[in-house]
Amino acid sequence: MIPRPLMFFGTTNLDLCFNVDRLPTPGETLLGTLVRNPGGKGANQAVAAARLGLRPYFYTRLGDDEAGRALLRSLQEAGVRTDAVEVCPGELSGSAMVMVGDDGANMIVIDPGANLKATPATVEKAAAFIEPGTIVVAEMGIPIAALERLCALKADRGFELIFNPAPVRTGLSTEAWRSVDYITPNQTETFELTGVEVVGFESAAEAALKLLEFGPKAALITLGAQGTYYRDGSRSFAMPAFPVKVLDTTAAGDAFNGGFAAFLAQGLPVRDAIRKATAVAALCVTRRGAQESMPTARTVDEFLNQQTVLELE
Ligand code: ADP
């Protein structure tokens, strides 16, 4: 079966990751080792889907700088279609400085750079790549006005919209919320949006009801190592996470969102798409890094076959 078209809208950053023994205190200078990795939520999600064998389009804004060229190349190498990517003369690409201590604790500073200058007009131009039946995934790193335009285009273009509200920002209109088919916050984002502290599936159920009141047709709340809770107008269920040996949880949510979109595009029913996306995220946390930790479709299938054997034993 030919998959439905897929398009991501979001941010791209160059992550400067310093590994340090421990995080510095103010005024202190420490030695660490630097690794440069492609990152940004939108880019991670698009790469997750591409690693699973899809050929998603991606709208993002890059600077006309060395980082931008490296980021564009790495998206292309991963199999992401970059026709809608804007390379912006005179602007700097987004970058993040990440410090990770030996105990896994981290500190992050982001300069969004070119990501912040997406406008309603630039999003509308990129939306020319949305074909009928497309699944569109948007995260909240691009400005609200630009997101609003994307949501407003939905009625006309007839796409399905997965909205990952990260990082949470206020100001999205009621009409925009109503255009969302699936909202996919993690626990922190759910708290910021609803005021409900999600500690398990019971509190997730309560929070999901509140999320649906904003207007989305379905809510998927991710609860880290616990899994995911799903609710729409007529049904709800919990999908437990797979027990794995965790090495680095960076981009777990991006793996989940990219995977969910990819499996929906391949025609899987929602519950099956969530189960497979849960496997994608589980495999992601067993490896270090963001985009380089995204599994292929084959690895996901082998992992799930193994789980089935374990469940039968
Ligand atoms: P985010 O990375 O956006 O904070 P979560 O931490 O909620 O998102 O993780 C997203 C998904 O990744 C979870 O729903 C779960 O399926 C998977 N996941 C996260 N942490 C683990 C873990 N420690 N073990 C197994 N799966 C995990």
- Indicate which atom in ligand 1 lies nearest the CA of residue 188: 4
If you take atom 10 of ligand 1, which residue's CA is the nearest one?
A: 253
Q: May I ask the CATH architecture of the domain 6-12+40-95+113-304?
A: 3-Layer(aba) Sandwich (3.40)
If you take atom 27 of ligand 1, which residue's CA is the nearest one?
A: 225
Q: How confident is the model at residue 199 (pLDDT cuts 50, 70, 90)?
A: very high
Rounded mean pLDDT, 124-146: 96
Rounded mean pLDDT, 2-10: 97
**pLDDT at residue 91, rounded to an integer:** 97
Q: How confident is the model at residue 301 (pLDDT cuts 50, 70, 90)?
A: very high
Q: Is the CB of 186 under 6 A from ligand 1?
A: yes
Instruction: Determine the Cα–Cα distance for residues 176 and 106; give it in Å rounded to an integer.
Output: 34
If you take atom 22 of ligand 1, which residue's CA is the nearest one?
A: 225
232 given a catalytic annotation: no
**pLDDT at residue 260, rounded to an integer:** 98
Instruction: Determine the Cα–Cα distance for residues 133 and 6; give it in Å rounded to an integer.
Output: 9
Q: How confident is the model at residue 56 (pLDDT cuts 50, 70, 90)?
A: very high
Cα of 36 vs centre of ligand 1, distance in Å, is 23
Give tens-digit pLDDT for 105-123.
788 899 999 999 999 999 9
Q: How confident is the model at residue 3 (pLDDT cuts 50, 70, 90)?
A: very high
**pLDDT at residue 46, rounded to an integer:** 98
Cα of 225 vs centre of ligand 1, distance in Å, is 5
If you take atom 19 of ligand 1, which residue's CA is the nearest one?
A: 224
For residue 186, which of 170, 166, 172 has the smallest C-alpha distance? 166
Instruction: Determine the Cα–Cα distance for residues 205 and 211; give it in Å rounded to an integer.
Output: 10
Average pLDDT for the chain = 95
Please give the order of strands across the beta sheet that includes 94-100: 33-39, 13-19, 94-100, 106-111
Instruction: Determine the Cα–Cα distance for residues 254 and 267; give it in Å rounded to an integer.
Output: 20
- Out of 137, 164, 222, mutate this one to test ligand 1's pocket (max ligand atoms within 8 Å of CB): namely 222
**pLDDT at residue 101, rounded to an integer:** 85
Q: How confident is the model at residue 156 (pLDDT cuts 50, 70, 90)?
A: confident
Residue linked to tokens 């929602």: 270
- The answer, yes or no, to whether residue 308 has pLDDT greater than 90, is no
Q: How confident is the model at residue 102 (pLDDT cuts 50, 70, 90)?
A: confident
Query: ∠ at Cα 223 (220, 225), nearest 5°?
Result: 135
- The answer, yes or no, to whether residue 155 has pLDDT greater than 90, is no
Tell me if 68 sits within 8 A of 89, measured CB to CB.
no
Cα of 192 vs centre of ligand 1, distance in Å, is 18
Lowest mean pLDDT among 30-34, 35-39, 246-250: 246-250
Tell me if 138 sits within 8 A of 162, measured CB to CB.
yes
Q: How confident is the model at residue 247 (pLDDT cuts 50, 70, 90)?
A: confident
- Out of 162, 256, 275, mutate this one to test ligand 1's pocket (max ligand atoms within 8 Å of CB): namely 256
Q: How confident is the model at residue 45 (pLDDT cuts 50, 70, 90)?
A: very high
- What pTM does this model have? 0.96
Sign of CA dihedral 275, 279, 285, 291: negative
Q: Which of 15, 111, 232, 254 is catalytic?
A: 254
Q: Compute the chain's Rg from CA coordinates.
A: 19
- The answer, yes or no, to whether residue 289 has pLDDT greater than 90, is no
Q: How confident is the model at residue 1 (pLDDT cuts 50, 70, 90)?
A: confident
Rounded mean pLDDT, 205-221: 98
Q: How confident is the model at residue 250 (pLDDT cuts 50, 70, 90)?
A: confident
- The answer, yes or no, to whether residue 309 has pLDDT greater than 90, is no
Q: Is the CB of 223 under 6 A from ligand 1?
A: yes
Q: For the chain, which residues make up each domain, given as ranges?
A: 6-12+40-95+113-304
Cα of 63 vs centre of ligand 1, distance in Å, is 31
**Residues for the chain: how many in total?**
313
